[in-house]
Amino acid sequence: MQVLVLNQDYQAISLCTPERAIVLVLLEKAEMVADVTHRKMRSVSMSFPFPSVIRLRAFVSLPYRKVALTRQNIYKRDGGQCVYCGSTHNLTLDHVVPRTQGGRTTWNNLVTACQKCNAEKGPLSPEEAGMEMAHRPFRPSFLMFVSRFSGRIQEPWKPYLLIG
């Protein structure tokens, strides 16, 4: 389980572990905005509400946050399915514009593909191979990635992630 971290202006900026959130609250660097009512965190001598959302007390100026281009993040963006056939087995990455045609390793050129579709497409573009994609590749924003691709969204997070 993770904790949503808000900047002083209530803008979602990251996720952290519940332990890190409690440390920030105890050091008075953050305040708890929402907790999980049916859970507690315990130490030898104390009990704490289990955090769900914390807000930093001081504003942290952050540059534009980018989602790291990794295999796992591409799989998350594509829902763990081949963009050509929808399979969830034997997944790999496919360059939409093949490297042999000058395609680069970027968010906008990588998709999740099963081994069968990737081999069928080979060194061709999807159009040249006559293959339809469920969606075009895109670079997710940090906020979109946190809200849609990081797993289960806790109810208390929704007002801060701009989702209903």
- Mean pLDDT for 91-111 is 96
Report residue 13's pLDDT band, with 50, 70 and 90 as the boundaries: confident
The band of 1, judged by pLDDT with boundaries at 50, 70 and 90, is confident
CATH node for 71-129: 1.10.30.50
Cβ atoms < 10 Å from Cβ of 156: 17
Query: What φ, ψ does residue 129 adopt, rounded to 5°?
Result: -85, -5
User: Phi then psi for 58, rounded to 5 degrees?
Assistant: -110, 140
Q: Strand, coil or helix: what is 110?
A: strand
pLDDT above 80: residue 36: yes
In the prediction, which pLDDT does 164 show?
46
131 three-state secondary structure: coil
Q: What is the DSSP letter of 93?
A: E
Q: Can you list the positions of beta strands (E) in 9-151?
A: 12-16, 30-42, 47-56, 91-95, 110-114
Residue 150 β-bridge partners: none
Delimiting residues of CATH 1.10.30.50 domain(s) in the chain: 71-129
- The pLDDT tens digits of the residues spanning 37-62 come to 889 999 899 899 999 999 999 999 87
Say if residue 151's pLDDT is above 70.
no
Q: What pLDDT is attached to residue 162?
A: 64
